[in-house]
Structure 1
Amino acid sequence: MLSRHPSRRLLGLLGLVVAGIAFALHWRRNPSPCPYSQRRWIDLPRPVITRSRVRDLLGPRPGERVLEVGPGTGYYTLPVARSLEPDGTLHAADVQPAMVEHLQTRLQEANRRNVEPVGGDAQALPYADDSFEAAYLVLVLGEIPDQERALAELRRVLKPGGRLVVGELLPDPHFVRAGQLRRRAERQGFRFEERDGTPIGYVARLSVPA
């Protein structure tokens, strides 16, 4: 039977939409990582910022030491780690202990030994200067309260000539536009090299001048 009060249903739906918009605006103004309880969403397929596109633009090579910031449950971790074999290492730093534990379990199940998950804040990375040949973060930069500080930290831990790949995709409320990324990264000493994507998302590569 059809509802005798369609206006109430409409108002209810409108209320949900308004609440959703309000939540998105609040989340954008108060950046924070995706909660572990919502991890199922970060394992969904990602158009534009695919695993292959990220890996190809990053160009990981056997024997390199690479950093992933904000790996979450490891959506990009395993493909990149395989490209570093036989003697390269992928360090995966996440600010959420639950994500680090989840990733450790996933790596054990996959018998993947060249990944080192660690707890770490992108605004104060637990690594020495010039530690890595490359680094990447996907759907992460906008979640960091001080993006320029995080970019400065990435600049610090990358070797001269090192590569940085950043991926962003709408409708992420923390979406960082390519122009914003370029301006902020260049202020921290990066050189903008390439952008691959569409109007709704992109993967960009930057580098540290040699």
Structure 2
Amino acid sequence: MSSRRLPRAIAALLGVVLLAGLGYALRWRSNPSPCPYAQRHAIDLPRPVVTRSRLCDVLEPRPGERLLEVGPGTGYYTGTVARAVEPSGTVHAVDVQSEMVEHLRTRTRADGDSNVEPVRGDARALPYPDDAFDAAYLVLVLGEIPDQERTLDELERVLEPGGRLVVGESLPDPHFVGFERLRRRVERRGLTFDGRVGTRAGYFVRFDASAAERPPR
């Protein structure tokens, strides 16, 4: 192959790869599902917008609180939040994949985070009573759930009056959930918008639960 044709061939190959990746992302978005355990290493890659410290700034975890994390995966955020609620607080980390739950259990034991309770469960039917948590959070997870509306109902249900809900989203996640639409959906459930950090392409947003504004269940 001539030297002139080589760059064209490389460009064509890159184009095919990009189109294939775009097609995969579109199919994944239209068929929501969690990140497979086989791809778990991608979960621990740095997240420059939705960072651990920024999550804590927005969530404001306090010692002694009972918190819920939905979709912890391998535990990118779990240990940081768990240490913020020590010594008597707990983090219940609910994931739909058994492999992720076991991975998280092993990781938290190795890190000495004894106040983390990994739980196999479905966000659409959380295994907890009403008003069970001081706060709940999920990062890069909501768009992976087939029934987001049911999940938001469940999160509202398990938060105690005055509780806090924090949602984190960031591109290029194929399941990215835009801020404006998310805010409308959460506020319909009686939670109050309490602030956002970041940009349209990546953000943390916090909502507060108020007994006076809750719709009847």
Is TM (by shorter chain) over 0.5? yes
The reply on whether 1:132 has 2:140 as its aligned counterpart is no
The reply on whether 1:115 has 2:116 as its aligned counterpart is yes
Q: Compared with structure 1, are the counterparts of its residues 2 and 164 closer, same or farther at alpha carbon in structure 2 (3 Å cutoff)?
A: farther
**Identity across the alignment (%):** 65
CA contact (8 A) 2:179 2:200 kept: no
**Offset at residue 10 of structure 1 (A):** 3.1
CA distance in 2, matches of 1:63, 1:121: 25
Normalising by structure 1, we get a TM-score of 0.96
- The residue correspondences of 1:166-177 to structure 2 (distance < 5 A) are 166-177=167-178
Aligned to 2:106: 105
Normalising by structure 2, we get a TM-score of 0.93
**Offset at residue 5 of structure 1 (A):** 4.3
Aligned to 2:93: 92
Q: Secondary structure at the match of 2:27?
A: helix
Q: Compared with structure 1, are the counterparts of its residues 42 and 2 closer, same or farther at alpha carbon in structure 2 (3 Å cutoff)?
A: farther
CA contact (8 A) 2:82 2:116 kept: yes
Q: CA RMSD in A?
A: 1.4
**Offset at residue 199 of structure 1 (A):** 3.3
Aligned to 2:27: 26
Amino acid at match of 1:181: L
Aligned to 1:75: 76
CA contact (8 A) 1:71 1:94 kept: yes
CA distance in 1, matches of 2:25, 2:172: 10
Unaligned runs of 5+ in 1: none
Q: Secondary structure at the match of 2:154?
A: helix
Unaligned runs of 5+ in 2: 212-217
Q: Deviations over 1:78-126 (max 9, x none)?
A: 1110111111111000001000000000011112110100001111111
Amino acid at match of 2:53: S
CA contact (8 A) 1:67 1:91 kept: yes
**Offset at residue 11 of structure 1 (A):** 2.7
CA distance in 2, matches of 1:3, 1:107: 54
Aligned to 1:202: 203
The more displaced of 90-99 and 9-18 is 9-18
The reply on whether 1:184 has 2:190 as its aligned counterpart is no
Q: How many residues align?
A: 210
